[in-house]
Amino acid sequence: MSLRELLRFCRLALILLTGNALGQQAVTFAHYNVENYLEMNRREGGRAVFEPKPEGEKNTLVRIIKEIHPDILGVAEMGPPDQFEEFRKRLNETGLEYPFTEYVNGPDPDRHLALVSRFKIIERHSEGTLFFDLNGEREPVERGFLDVTIEVNPLYRLRLVGAHLKSKLAVPSGEALLRRNEARLLRQHIDRVLSKDPKVNLLVYGDLNDTKDQPAIQEILGPRRSANRLSDILLSDAQGDHWTYYRQFSDTYDRIDYILTDDALLPQIEQSRSYLYRSSDWYSASDHRPVVAVIKVKTP
């Protein structure tokens, strides 16, 4: 057993023992933009080749997920259903078995939201077809919204809402306004969830493609002092850094991947055990880093 695996085993054992002592269960959730897990035109030897995500990237990606060992994993930039099944097969071959899944087939023909879970999905409210009006034109929410309720045990349910908002382009062409409108619809979706059940354990996550100071993120968080305002779980890596994404075009690092919670779930987040993944080779898997939250869950 390597030192990394030993440390991972000790961490999991500590979480398990502590949770049992308190009559609680520790559930690990992770969100990961897996960067183009699909067939597309790629550069190889100076020429364009239509092919899947390279094997080396996939191997590093799966190894990172294995190290995190999430109970529930939400992903962005997943390819079509056959690529999703291939992804699940790779996870299964490493001992990560996720029998319950959700896949959102939005208007974007290439990149999709998906989720895998050890625990049963008992409700599905994902929306793949959403539109808004912009300057007289009907525009789609390209990846839709993922929305599931998971039953961890007979005493505990967790609702998860995932999103991947409009990407920032190398040459801006109005995508900020598109992203703001997507964020507005996501906020409306969140408000409907909380209006129906103000005490729901709600976790909102995703690649929101903007920094916290921008209007789109503030729209999703909700008005200050509002009963439905979400809390931003600020995560850091072992070196204290908060960034989740490296943008090669501008050579910048930003935090654009989020885990947000409502007031009911917030006290259940184990902040000291939650983290932002870091390794020396993270960039060989994706241009994003996974965000990880550990949740204290009541047990029967």
Strand duo 120-124 + 145-153: pairing: antiparallel
Measured CA to CA in angstroms, residue 186 lies from 55, 59, 255 at distances of 34, 33, 19
pLDDT at 45: 74
**CB-based contact 64:57 (threshold 8 Å):** no
DSSP helix/strand/coil, 240: coil
Give me the pLDDT at residue 258, please.
98
3-state secondary structure of 8: helix
DSSP 8-state secondary structure symbol assigned to residue 289: -
CA angle centred on 152, ends 66 and 69, rounded to 5°:
5
Per-residue pLDDT tens digits of the chain, which is 300 residues long? 454 444 444 554 544 444 444 578 999 999 999 999 999 999 877 788 899 999 999 999 999 999 999 999 999 999 999 999 999 999 999 999 999 999 999 999 999 999 999 999 999 999 999 999 998 999 999 999 999 999 999 999 999 999 999 998 755 667 899 999 999 999 999 999 999 999 999 999 999 999 999 999 999 999 999 999 999 999 999 999 999 999 998 999 999 999 999 999 999 999 999 999 999 999 999 999 999 999 999 888
Q: Who's near 40: CB < 8 A, 6+ residues apart?
A: 50, 51, 110
Question: Which ranges in 69-214 belong to alpha helices (H)?
Answer: 81-93, 175-196
Q: Tell whether pTM > 0.75.
A: yes
Per CATH, is 3-298 categorized as 3.60.10.10? yes
Neighbours of 40 (CB within 10 A): 15
SS3 283: helix
* pLDDT at residue number 9: 46
Q: Report the pLDDT value the prediction gives residue 44, as an integer from 0 to 100.
A: 77
**Cα angle, residue 191 at apex, residues 231 and 235 outer, rounded to 5°:** 20
Record the tokens describing residue 247, joined without a space.
Answer: 């943008």
- Rounded to whole angstroms, the Cα distance separating 207 from 166 reads 9
Q: What is the pLDDT of residue 120?
A: 98
Predicted confidence at residue 170, as pLDDT, reads 58
Q: Could you give the C-alpha distances from 293 to 70, 106, 181, 219, 221, in angstroms and in order?
A: 9, 26, 28, 22, 18
Decide the pairing of beta strands 156-164 and 202-207.
Answer: parallel
Which amino acid belongs to residue 50? F
The conformation of residue 284, written as its DSSP 8-state character, comes to G
Give the span between the Cα atoms of 132 and 127, in whole angstroms.
14
Tokens at residue 80, please? Answer: 């079509």
- What confidence score (pLDDT) does residue 172 get? 60
pLDDT given at position 2: 52
Query: What pLDDT does 25 receive?
Result: 94
Rounded Cα gap, residues 159 and 265, in angstroms: 10
pLDDT value for 21: 46
Of the candidates 122, 139, 144, 143, the residue with the CA atom closest to the CA atom of residue 181: 139
Task: Give me the residue label for tokens 């890596």.
Answer: 237
Backbone φ and ψ for 91, nearest 5 degrees, come out as: -65, -45
Residue found under tokens 């910048």: 252
